[in-house]
Amino acid sequence: MITEPSIENRTEQPYVGIRTRVTIPDIGTALPPLHREVADWLENQGVAPAGAPFFRYLVINMESESEIEVGIPVASALSGNGRIQAGLLPAGHYATLTHTGEYPGLYDATRELLAWADKHGIQWQKSPSEHGEVWRARVEFYLNHDTEPDPTKRQAQLAFLVA
């Protein structure tokens, strides 16, 4: 199930995360374990998450490796160390929708959000590069993946920054 897309105004959101490169087919297996690593780091720092874990797509390259951050929001900016780095999701208007179902269904949800934006003349904060499309903020928040054992009931919210 996919909700109707909408536009939301969001404030900037500090987070900590791990930046990595991965092929699109390997995202579902390579990235989820990194959420545990970030969560463990936060716990060792005595800091509680301030929102749902996410994947932030920085550079998308469908033919090669994409650059993605695996992150967790925090209430205020922190200094990372080692693999854990501090980041900031920018404030602005985001096109959003929520997908309920198994992880592979996010492909269709993403396609639907992109088509909806195209139909409504919405442009993204992105630019081309020699490595792929560089996005300022293209994020998948995993709202209940840690607590919902039934993959058909898991929810993910897409949030893409509008130009």
Calpha distance 63→121 (Å, rounded):
27
pLDDT of residue 42: 96
pTM above 0.85, yes or no: yes
Average pLDDT for 118-132: 95
- 22 DSSP β-pair partners: 66
Alpha-carbon torsion 21, 23, 24, 25, what sign? negative
Q: Check: CB of residue 53 under 8 Å from CB of residue 35.
A: yes
> Which residues make Cβ contacts (< 8 Å) with residue 71, sequence separation at least 6?
15, 16, 17, 18, 38, 53, 54, 55, 56, 87
| Least confident residue range of 34-38, 41-45, 108-112, 143-147 | 143-147
Indicate the pairing of strand 65-73 with strand 54-60. antiparallel
**Joined tokens for residue 69:** 């951050």
Residue whose C-alpha is closest to residue 138's, from 38, 27, 26, 36? 27
Average pLDDT for 97-107: 92
For the chain, the residue count is 163
Calpha distance 63→105 (Å, rounded):
20
**pLDDT per residue as tens digits for the range 32-90:** 999 999 999 999 999 999 999 999 999 999 899 999 999 999 999 999 888 999 999 99
> Which residues make Cβ contacts (< 8 Å) with residue 120, sequence separation at least 6?
none
> Which residues make Cβ contacts (< 8 Å) with residue 130, sequence separation at least 6?
none
Does residue 143 carry a pLDDT above 90?
Answer: yes
